[in-house]
Amino acid sequence: MITLPSQIKEFLQAALSPYSYDLKRNIYIWFGVFWGMPIPLVTLLYEYRILDLSGSDGNLFEMLNSPMQWLFLLHPVLFGVIFGILGTVRQEKELKLVDTIGQLRDLAIHDPLTGLKNRRYFAHNFHDECARSHRRNEHLSLLFLDIDYFKRINDEHGHHIGDVVLRELGNFLHIQCRPYDTPVRWGGEEFLILLRSTDEAGAVMFAERIRTKIALGISQEIPFTFTISIGLTEHQTGDTLEELVNRADQALYHAKQSGRNRVVQWSVLPSKEA
């Protein structure tokens, strides 16, 4: 809640900022100077008028002999200082607003538990990745990962440990991926990885490598080992997001049904499943 004491404190803090008196960057100073200009001009015209009516030959500045009159003359300086301080207050508020917007934008596209990009980001970014791969005539492959027996992990070790597993797996996938790949927490214990410039054979090699490492253990914070199953497919011209994810999901389902802890590509599924 904004109160008068808090506003006064904010103003005094801004008064100590060097930016409040920076003539080159803080344009509010000049706005204040021009805002205060009419006051000394009116004061000088008024004094000049008095001299003219009285017929006096005295110097104009000799008549400006009171502190109040000089205060009127200094109004541009006073207004410049005040507006400069207000400019600092405004700048700090704008910086806080930009920071808040950035944080909200970051929260909107990241999964808070794993730190990976989320489903919303993936759906928004998918068409850009497809267009880029098409322009460069590059392959694009999708991995669909699921933790084996995750419900058993939660039941036997508690949901806190389940969250640790998800967080550490997310960190592991982020480290294993290249900077231009897109690892995503799809939901629950499911993850997606979009591999740029990677055909199906390369995707299988990558998937087998991470599957093997996960089975051996990826973090000392997890007091047991666990495995994952992976289904994968290569992007085909004209694929929608739903079609690509559905094929990878079918391959994942086959990996689960055939024993778990394995990698299955959609292209090798029996025709009736595909």
Query: What is the pTM assigned to this prediction?
Result: 0.70
Contact 144, 154 (CB under 8 A): no
Q: How many CB atoms lie within 10 A of CB 138?
A: 14
What is the CA 126 to chain-centroid distance, rounded?
A: 18
Residue range 24-76, pLDDT digits in tens: 888 888 888 888 888 778 877 777 776 666 665 555 555 566 676 677 778 88
State yes or no: is 189 an active-site residue.
yes
Class of the domain covering 119-268: alpha beta
Measured CA to CA, the distance from residue 108 to residue 102 in angstroms comes to 10
Q: Which helix (H) or strand (E) holds 26?
A: none
Residue range 3-30, pLDDT digits in tens: 778 878 887 888 888 888 888 888 888 8
Measured CA to CA, the distance from residue 159 to residue 179 in angstroms comes to 31
Q: Range(s) for CATH 3.30.70.270 in the chain? A: 119-268
Those residues whose C-beta lies under 8 Å from the C-beta of residue 258, and which sit 6 or more positions away, are 264
Which of the pair, 56 or 257, is modelled with greater confidence? 257
Q: How many CB atoms lie within 10 A of CB 55?
A: 6
Nearest alpha-carbon partner for 146 in 250, 63, 70: 250
Q: Is the pLDDT of residue 176 over 60?
A: yes
Half-sphere exposure for 217 (CA within 13 Å, toward CB): 7
From the list 62, 138, 156, 189, the catalytic residue is 189
List, in sequence order, the alpha helices (H) in the chain.
4-15, 27-36, 38-54, 60-63, 67-73, 75-109, 119-136, 150-157, 159-176, 200-216, 241-257
What local confidence, expressed as pLDDT, does residue 55 receive?
A: 61
